[in-house]
């Protein structure tokens, strides 16, 4: 009798499990992963969010990195229990990747997939701006072909903020002069973020949270809660997510930028990621010019003529030598 009851209960459990993962007859729908935690992905479909898991067939075989990540565009089917199954992950156009050394080899952890832009927030003062860190962030973005915006915050604390960040405008980067205290630049930043997926980064104390709160009440707190979880360490269950903006679009705090390494960047390709250096390379006398000591170097000639900022050239040398700054 006990054996018979166990058998029928086992059959019932299998049937319940089958029904749970049974797809409805609806056609697959497209969506955006806005949250990821412990193998569960929240997908925004335009008609509501659906909590999904990957289909088993997608997880077969060896992998060197995250199969799905926040920011990925996916195709899902709805299941009978109201959840969903990710059937397909669309190819990524770009991604912010952090390397995680593991016994099996290097694992590529995706901090954010398919960002439309990177927004780097640095203070004009208190603390003093770490421009070498900014240059490193910009190189990482250039390598991943991610358009960058620089937000110079706390402009109310200095007389001439463009003396600090003006050189970035001169080489083509968009610089937004802002102050969370006075509200300067907030509308411009709001417009820049609208209807885009933006990766935020910047050093501690730059006033990013205050600026976000000025942009949208409560936004800074929401972003901080996610960042705090991400900073607890790789052995902690981490939730990554996109925070929706009232005017359309999403922001994702990406504190991992500070730990990103230019791991696959050869010294000889570094000049390609400095927009003011790249056009000059073809004019150098030697094709393998390092722009350090060779005769006929167009980069050094431009530097001596005042067409390249010495601080940026110094950053180039340091990054080329592998100095993380």
Q: Specify whether the CB–CB gap between 197 and 249 falls below 8 A.
A: yes
Average pLDDT, the chain: 87
Same domain membership, residue 295 and residue 172: no
Q: How confident is the model at residue 24 (pLDDT cuts 50, 70, 90)?
A: low
Q: Report the CATH number that the domain containing residue 207 is assigned in CATH.
A: 3.40.50.300
Judge whether residue 236 has pLDDT over 60. Answer: no
Judge whether residue 5 has pLDDT over 80. Answer: no
Look at residues 187, 188, 150, 192 and name the one whose alpha carbon lies nearest to residue 168: 150
Could you give the CA distance from residue 87 to residue 97 in angstroms, rounded to a whole number? 23
Phi, psi of 143 (to 5 degrees): -65, -35
Tell me the residue range of the domain where 53 lies: 29-91
**133 three-state secondary structure:** helix
Q: What is the pTM of this model?
A: 0.85
Same domain membership, residue 299 and residue 219: no
Question: Can you read off the two tokens belonging to residue 71?
Answer: 């920011």
Judge whether residue 222 has pLDDT over 70. Answer: no
212 Cβ neighbours under 8 A, 6+ residues apart: 200, 219, 220, 223, 251
Domain contains 216: yes
How many separate domains does the chain show?
3
Domain contains 314: yes
Question: Can you read off the two tokens belonging to residue 155?
Answer: 């402009």
């Amino acid at each position: 009798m006990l054996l018979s009851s166990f058998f029928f209960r086992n059959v019932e459990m299998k049937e319940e499990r089958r029904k749970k993962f049974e797809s409805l007859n609806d056609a697959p729908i497209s969506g955006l992963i806005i949250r990821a935690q412990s193998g569960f992905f929240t997908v925004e479909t335009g008609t509501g969010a659906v909590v999904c898991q990957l289909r088993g067939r997608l997880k077969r075989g060896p992998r060197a990195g995250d199969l799905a990540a926040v920011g990925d565009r996916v195709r899902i089917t709805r299941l009978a229990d109201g959840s969903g199954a990710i059937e397909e992950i669309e190819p990524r156009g770009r991604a912010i990747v952090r390397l995680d050394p593991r016994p099996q080899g290097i694992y590529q952890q995706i901090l954010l997939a398919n960002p439309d832009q990177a927004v780097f927030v640095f203070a004009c003062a208190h603390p003093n701006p770490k421009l070498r860190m900014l240059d490193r962030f910009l190189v990482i973005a250039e390598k991943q072909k991610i358009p960058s915006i620089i937000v110079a915050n706390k402009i109310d604390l200095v007389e001439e903020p463009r003396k600090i960040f003006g050189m970035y405008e001169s080489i083509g980067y968009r610089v937004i002069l802002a102050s969370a205290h006075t509200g300067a630049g907030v509308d411009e930043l709001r417009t820049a973020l609208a209807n885009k997926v933006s990766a935020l980064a910047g050093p501690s104390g730059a006033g990013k949270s205050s600026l976000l709160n000025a942009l949208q009440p409560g936004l800074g707190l929401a972003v901080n809660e996610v960042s705090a979880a991400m900073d607890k360490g790789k052995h902690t269950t981490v939730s990554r997510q996109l925070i929706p903006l009232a005017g359309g679009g999403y922001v994702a705090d990406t504190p991992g930028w500070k730990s990103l390494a230019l791991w696959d960047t050869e010294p000889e390709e570094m000049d390609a990621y400095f927009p003011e250096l790249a056009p000059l390379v073809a004019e150098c006398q030697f094709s393998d010019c390092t722009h350090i000591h060779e005769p006929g170097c167009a980069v050094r000639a431009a530097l001596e003529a005042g067409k390249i900022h010495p601080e940026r050239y110094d950053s180039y040398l340091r990054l080329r030598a592998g100095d993380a700054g």
